[in-house]
Structure 1
Amino acid sequence: MTDHSPSPAAFRERADAATAALRELFPPTPLGRNDHLSERFGADILLKREDLTPVRSYKLRGAFNAISRVMADAAGARRFVCASAGNHAQGVAYVCRHFGVEGVIFMPVTTPQQKIGKTEKFGGENVRIELTGDYFDQTLAAAQSYCREAGAHFLSPFDDADVIEGQASVAAEIVAELGEAPDMIVLPVGGGGLSAGVVSYLRAAGPGTDIRFVEPAGGASLAAALAAGAPVKLGRVDNFVDGAAVAQVGARTFEALKDTDPARVLAAPEDRICATIIEMLNVEGIVLEPAGALSVDALADLAGEIRGKRVVCVTSGGNFDFERLPEVKERALRFTGRKKYFILRLPQRPGALKDFLTLLGPGDDIARFEYLKKSARNFGSVLIGIETRQAGGFDHLFARMDAAGFAYQDITDDEVLAQFLI
């Protein structure tokens, strides 16, 4: 197994060897300039397309390195186990089939069939899937218990020295293709495996590179760990960015990241991430999962610092379930100010609704209309969703409603009411 704290030069040497070994599995992922983003931010923006690996995420790298390290040991296990409902499961399955070893993948019972099917396809006859537990903690406990009983090797998705070393191959490929380290690298953070690997590699290969880390606002576990001086478990996690919504960073990954300046850790709002997904899909034809869009999304926060610089954004995954597209579009519209929901107090008289409709502009469209209370004698409550063509259009609509004497309440950003009514 890998030494837990090799020197920067030794880590780089081992990561370079791991990168070379990966070539039997897939070629380096593309690293290319994105003209749209470069023009928008006045910088040389390059995308490291980890969404284009055989399993559409970088997780394949760590799984390959960890399994090959174990197999190199004559006494190493030949049965590998993981607990995952996403990219880690698919990476482990793919590598188990490649090496012809047995893989047992534990997934929550609630895992979508699409993810189960993809994992089965990547693993073929070498992988068995066990569905157990309603929540991931239950699934993880079952996987670790199985490992103890069966003498199998457990593969952590991030908190493993060999996995971290494998993820460092992302940085190795960037430096090799550019001939030098870039001015800045923007990394998505979940459990910290990718970030720990890249940071450790650049200590020797690019000590002058400015590294920025991006977490989903609803799962800022690295920021919490830096504030506490040790990994801490978040009390609540928003699972929308499922590839990076981790309640606690790993102990090994934090050891590599503990000296990070907290100001270099950014929190990306989930609704803004949705807008970024839609933009990259519509403008560039690039399909990114929420975690895969984190680094691109953070450019908005870095706009004042990156002008004229060469910046690499790691797009970490493209396993996007298109059944989620309506939700992503909805959240993107709300974030950009093009869609709002409000409760309208409508007089119970003939023509009242017509009076309201005359207030709508040519770019306003009713996306939702529902009576909430019809029993009142004088007024009724109506839930209305309005979508407008341009952000800022609601200022004019609400001004017309105020002038006409309509009473209303904007509930777009009210989490409690929105949860029950929208």
Structure 2
Amino acid sequence: MRTNDVDSAAEALRSLFPATPLQLNEHLSQRYGANIWLKREDLTPVRSYKIRGAFNFFRKVIAAGGTDKVFVCASAGNHAQGFAFVCRHFGVQGVVYMPVTTPQQKIDKTRTFGAGFISIKLVGDFFDQCYQAAREHVERIDGVMVPPFDHEDIIEGQATVAAEIAEQLPDGVVPDLVILPVGGGGLAAGITGYLADTLPKNAFRFAEPAGAPSLRRSIEAGKVVTLPKVDNFVDGAAVARIGDLNFAALRDFSADQVMLMPENAICVTIIDMLNVEGVVLEPAGALAISAIEALDRESIRGRTVVAVVSGGNFDFERLPDVKERAMRHAGLKKYYILRLAQRPGALRDFLNLLGPEDDIARFEYLKKSARNFGSILIGIETKDAQNFAQLTANFEAAGLGFEDITENDILASMII
């Protein structure tokens, strides 16, 4: 990657929006005893960095005489919104393929960004079906497929994030650590490529969702690996296969530099940034900040850390689920199946086992498992995670039949 080409792309991008801010975050800096800088890609016009790669791709096709072409993409998220915005900017026609299951909020936002210049087609229940339909449409109309991450012009566009970081850091300040979120790998490939002559390889960390570790598994295998399944909770970064070009750019990094972030830990970051900083982040946008918590604090004390905040397209209908996951990860909420005797006073006896800071958040009679006993699903919240040790001891001392199902993913997905 040539830095001059990236700098030119960054300059061209100024016709679309100003450089996103690089902010020294006092809250995180004080917490970790380090200088934590956040590159706020949640503040682009479409609240994610995806607009950069799309813009760079479009401008090169148009410069080569492609103004009469119809552009096509397949996406249910940030790529679709960036694509739509750029279609309107250049005044070209575009078609966005989305799965039928795409939330209406995302459909409406994409339509708004591309108003008058895009059409939206809902096809298939899953992305693969949607993507195949988009590919077939491109062939029929001799259009231009705009990939989400695996293309040199997309990578070059995402690298403009690094160009801005280099320009925005105070004179003489060089990051000791740069933390990058990874989905398809376009952002990570672009930023590491641009900063290759400035920072050593060990200055980078990559944050992937634990349920979609496509980069980690590929580095471990020494080749691109397609994951058999992924957890789609971090929908902006849940990719089953990292891009081929992006893997080629990242394959020489150590697998240990790829940090796998549990989805529930990411929820803790989302809630923390919302409550303390008033910053709205989607799960993918919280990846890099969440990774800071997983680092050895002594290893970053007094050092300069840059984390890329990759997106802020958060659907607030997801907030109850995010809060639930955050509390469970922090150890402040647990779910139990209890076997209670069906006799007068049994419930009162159980309530006496709770501590002064324990609160029942859910209580549901499930079924009668025997003549004199019944099964109860109960959710308990507390103010200190250590309280659950005493609660468990109380259950055992009372001879109460119980099972902690908090971390049982199958049961959690069905009944929690």
Q: Secondary structure at the match of 1:111?
A: coil
2:168 corresponding residue in structure 1? 177
What is the alpha-carbon distance in structure 2 between the residues aligned to residue 414 and residue 140 of structure 1? 33
If the length of structure 1 is used for normalisation, what is the TM-score?
0.95
1:32 corresponding residue in structure 2? 23
1:14 corresponding residue in structure 2? 5
1:360 corresponding residue in structure 2? 354
The match for 1:226 among 219, 223, 248 is 219
Please say if residues 105 and 130 of structure 1, whose CA atoms lie closer than 8 Å, have aligned partners that are also in contact: yes
Runs of 4+ in 1 over 4 A off after TM superposition: none
Alignment of 1:262-301 (within 5 A): 262-301=255-294
Please say if residues 99 and 122 of structure 2, whose CA atoms lie closer than 8 Å, have aligned partners that are also in contact: yes
Q: Secondary structure at the match of 1:218?
A: coil
What is the alpha-carbon distance in structure 1 between the residues aligned to residue 363 and residue 200 of structure 2? 57
Residue 78 of structure 1 deviates from its aligned partner by 2.8
Residue 75 of structure 1 deviates from its aligned partner by 5.1
1:126 corresponding residue in structure 2? 117
The match for 1:98 among 85, 89, 95 is 89
Residue 416 of structure 1 deviates from its aligned partner by 2.4
204-213 vs 359-368, greater mean Cα deviation: 204-213
Please say if residues 186 and 314 of structure 1, whose CA atoms lie closer than 8 Å, have aligned partners that are also in contact: yes
**Aligned letter for 2:7?**
D
Residue 209 of structure 1 deviates from its aligned partner by 7.1
Is there any run of 5+ residues in structure 1 with no aligned partner, and where? 1-5
Cα deviation code 1:282-303 (max 9, x no counterpart): 1111110000000000012222
Q: Does 1:250 align with 2:240?
A: no
1:213 corresponding residue in structure 2? 206
127-136 vs 173-182, greater mean Cα deviation: 173-182
1:152 corresponding residue in structure 2? 143
What is the alpha-carbon distance in structure 2 between the residues aligned to residue 147 and residue 391 of structure 1? 54
Residue 207 of structure 1 deviates from its aligned partner by 4.4
Q: Secondary structure at the match of 1:190?
A: coil
2:254 corresponding residue in structure 1? 261
Alignment of 1:19-168 (within 5 A): 19-74=10-65, 78-168=69-159
Q: Secondary structure at the match of 1:341?
A: strand
Please say if residues 70 and 77 of structure 1, whose CA atoms lie closer than 8 Å, have aligned partners that are also in contact: no
The match for 2:315 among 306, 317, 321 is 321
388-397 vs 371-380, greater mean Cα deviation: 371-380
Cα deviation code 1:270-320 (max 9, x no counterpart): 011111111111111111000000000001222232111110000000000
Identity rate of aligned residues, in percent? 60
Residue 74 of structure 1 deviates from its aligned partner by 2.4
What is the alpha-carbon distance in structure 2 between the residues aligned to residue 18 and residue 204 of structure 1? 19
Please say if residues 201 and 253 of structure 2, whose CA atoms lie closer than 8 Å, have aligned partners that are also in contact: no
What is the alpha-carbon distance in structure 2 between the residues aligned to residue 228 and residue 209 of structure 1? 20
What is the alpha-carbon distance in structure 2 between the residues aligned to residue 111 and residue 37 of structure 1? 34
Please say if residues 209 and 262 of structure 2, whose CA atoms lie closer than 8 Å, have aligned partners that are also in contact: yes
Cα deviation code 1:351-380 (max 9, x no counterpart): 000111112222111111111123622211
What is the alpha-carbon distance in structure 2 between the residues aligned to residue 395 and residue 317 of structure 1? 38
**Aligned letter for 1:355?**
D
What is the alpha-carbon distance in structure 2 between the residues aligned to residue 75 and residue 42 of structure 1? 51
Q: Does 1:334 align with 2:325?
A: no
What is the alpha-carbon distance in structure 2 between the residues aligned to residue 106 and residue 335 of structure 1? 35
What is the alpha-carbon distance in structure 2 between the residues aligned to residue 242 and residue 198 of structure 1? 22
State the number of aligned residues: 413
What is the alpha-carbon distance in structure 1 between the residues aligned to residue 218 and residue 415 of structure 2? 36
Cα deviation code 1:46-99 (max 9, x no counterpart): 100000100000000000000001101025653211000000000000000001
What is the alpha-carbon distance in structure 1 between the residues aligned to residue 218 and residue 224 of structure 2? 4
**Aligned letter for 1:170?**
V
What is the RMSD computed on CA atoms of the aligned residues?
1.3
**Aligned letter for 1:145?**
E
What is the alpha-carbon distance in structure 1 between the residues aligned to residue 110 and residue 65 of structure 2? 28
Please say if residues 182 and 209 of structure 1, whose CA atoms lie closer than 8 Å, have aligned partners that are also in contact: no
If the length of structure 2 is used for normalisation, what is the TM-score?
0.97
What is the alpha-carbon distance in structure 2 between the residues aligned to residue 304 and residue 31 of structure 1? 24
**Aligned letter for 2:132?**
A
